[in-house]
Amino acid sequence: MAGAGPCVFCQIASSSTSTQLLHSDEKVVAFQDINPSAFKHYLVIPVEHISTVKDLQRRMADYQLVSHLLDVGQTLLHRDAPDSKQYRFGFHQPPFNSVNHLHLHCLALPFIPSSQDREQMEMYKIHVSRTLRWIHQGREVAKEDKSISI
């Protein structure tokens, strides 16, 4: 639940910090990463506390949440970095996550190079295709089940 315990992202989601929100709705909030790895580097998080990507399940609600996280990230980057030719999106998987609250990294290239960033970008490359494949599978399930709208 947002605002519960010491989770800094829960505090951000409940507007309990001075963090400037780039987007806010009933499901997600978005803000700038405090250690940007790219020209634009945003985080989109669910308002509800979900610890990591490993806590997501193969159910329609989670497909819809991840799809919404991605849609918000894409919209923000297209708005704020319209001339960027490349975008990257991805989740960290434990033990590579720095905050135990699900967060989608949304980056408009070019990267801001550092050795740590290069290592992290390799992890993004591995996970971004899995993330997009997972979203696509959820959308295919939704198309088959006419009672679900995404």
Residues tagged active-site: 105
- Burial class of residue 59, CB neighbours in 10 A (0-12, 13-18, 19+): exposed
Rounded Cα gap, residues 72 and 30, in angstroms? 8
- Rounded CA-CA distance 133/26 in Å is 25
d(CA 29, CA 22): 7
Rounded CA separation 44/73 (Å): 6
Instruction: Answer whether 85's CB lies under 8 Å from 142's CB.
Output: no
**If we measure between CA atoms, which residue out of 132, 80, 136, 83 comes closest to residue 104?**
132
